[in-house]
Amino acid sequence: MNAVNKDVQLFKNHLVQKRLKLTRQRETILEAFLKTDHITAEELYRKLSGRKQGRRLALATIYRTLNLLCEIGIGQQRHFDDNKTIYDNVLHKKHHDHLICNKCDKIIEFESPAIERLQEEMATRHGFTLHHHRLELYGHCIDWENCRDRQRAAPR
């Protein structure tokens, strides 16, 4: 059993636990989702709708399934400067923050224990207990070549 199938199996187990049903569309969406790092519902929709033999998916189903994946813990919603929700495939990933290129929309994941520590310290200093945080760094690739190889659909 390869890695992908193992992930699908994990998903199926979650469904059984929650007394949910495994449908063709859920499987299709899951597979496509697991192939990406960050994607919007709209992008997934375009990718899966223009399919051969009438495999039509409703956008609503994409949203429902993506939200299901978030509940299960396989995905996480992100809200970057763009006003559409980006779904982060966090399967096999630990906590991380993001660096986003305003030119080519590339998204780089990073983690900084030092920053995390300072955040905690800052919270404590103000009498807060931290639940979660959002750290996003926006800028652009210094290297144009690198910048040109776009990861995301449309440049801004």
Contact between 140 and a copy of itself by CB under 8 A: the answer reads yes
Q: According to the binding rule CB under 8 A, does residue 142 interact with a copy of itself?
A: yes
Question: Where in 84-143 is the site for DNA (CB under 7 A)?
Answer: 84-85
Asked if 44 contacts 32 with a C-beta cutoff of 8 angstroms, the reply is: yes
How buried is residue 58: exposed, middle or buried, by Cβ count under 10 Å (0-12/13-18/19+)?
exposed
| Residue 109 backbone dihedrals phi, psi, to 5 degrees | -95, 140
From CA 25, how far away is CA 31, in angstroms rounded? 10
Residue 8 CB, shortest distance to DNA, in Å, is 13
CA 130 – CA 60 distance, rounded (Å): 34
Q: Which stretch binds Zn ion (CB under 5 A): 70-78, 89-97, 99-107, 143-151?
A: 89-97
Q: How far is the CB of 87 from DNA (least distance, A)?
A: 9
Q: How many residues bind DNA (CB under 7 A)?
A: 26
**Residue 121, SS3 per DSSP:** helix
Per CB under 5 A, the list member of 7, 27, 37, 97 interacting with Zn ion is 97
Q: Which of 5, 19, 50, 143 binds a copy of itself (CB under 8 A)?
A: 143
72 in Cβ contact with 116 (< 8 Å): no
Tokens of 104: 């080519």
Cβ-based nearer residue to a copy of itself, 29 or 100: 100
Location of structure tokens 């800028």? 139
Binding-site member from 1, 21, 53, 94 for DNA (CB under 7 A): 21
Q: What minimum distance in Å lies between the beta carbon of 59 and a copy of itself?
A: 19
Q: Can you give the binding site for Zn ion, defined by CB under 5 A?
A: 97
